[in-house]
Amino acid sequence: MGLLVVHGRGGSASDMLGLARELPVSRVAIRAPEALAHTWYPHSFLAPLEQNEPWLSSALRTLDRELQSFMGEGLSPDRVVLLGFSQGACLALEFAARHPQRYAGVVGLSGGVIGPPGTTREPIGMMGATPVFLGCSDRDPHIPVERVRESAELFRRMDAAVDLRIYPNLGHTVNEDEIAAVAELLQTAESA
């Protein structure tokens, strides 16, 4: 099993490795890339796409390189979980939407697919029942809950098995229920 963890704006690889230590990852290879200056792209994930270029494309290539590295070690995408928090969640979800295939899992903690409000996304491929977990507060100051719901719907249309959990008044953080859900997703993927 492989676990690719992606930090948020202002975060670091070590933050995500700390999160990974809270999960049942004893037999899991973990990769935690770190963005230059601790940000994957400069503007909000809701900004017009061209405003976040060329950084967004560079960040997506980073995730692709990490996935290719797992594959070089004999782990196919269906043995890799993509997990991100905040800006890292947006990046991981965008990567999965642009590179649809069967993954061991995709986890977006306080995030949604990238693009300005009103962007309609059509599936470009299918994900073969990949488990997708999306957790977010209904009052997250950075992530509109409607975008999280839109992201869930996009992944459902891509044949993902979506677990969407909206938490009342949580703010921009990760809670124990999310950790438990991700732990369960990892254990199920590992035993598959």
pLDDT digits (tens, 9 = 90+) for 94-129: 999 999 999 999 999 999 999 999 888 889 999 999
Tracing tokens 């299918």 back to the chain, one arrives at 126
What would the two tokens of residue 18 be? 């700390």
What would the two tokens of residue 22 be? 């809270």
Q: Are 171 and 140 in contact (CB under 8 A)?
A: yes
Distance of CA 174 to the CA centre of its chain: 13
Residues near 82 by beta carbon (within 8 Å), at least 6 away in sequence: 4, 6, 63, 92, 95, 96, 103, 105, 106, 107
Phi, psi of 134, deg, nearest 5: -125, 120
Give pLDDT tens digits for 42-92: 999 999 999 999 999 999 999 999 999 999 999 999 999 999 999 999 999
Residue 174, pLDDT > 90, answer: yes
Averaged confidence pLDDT in the chain: 95
- pTM summary value: 0.96
> Side chain identity at 77, as an amino acid letter?
P
Output DSSP code: residue 144: -
**pLDDT-based confidence at residue 179 (cuts at 50, 70, 90):** very high
Q: Are 91 and 129 in contact (CB under 8 A)?
A: no
Give the sheet arrangement for strand 161-167, strand by strand: 29-31, 2-6, 80-85, 105-109, 131-137, 161-167
pLDDT at residue 107, rounded to an integer = 98
CA dihedral 139, 145, 148, 153 (to 10 degrees): 150
2-116+126-191: CATH superfamily: Alpha/Beta hydrolase fold, catalytic domain (3.40.50.1820)
| Pick from 126-130, 133-137, 187-191: least confident | 187-191
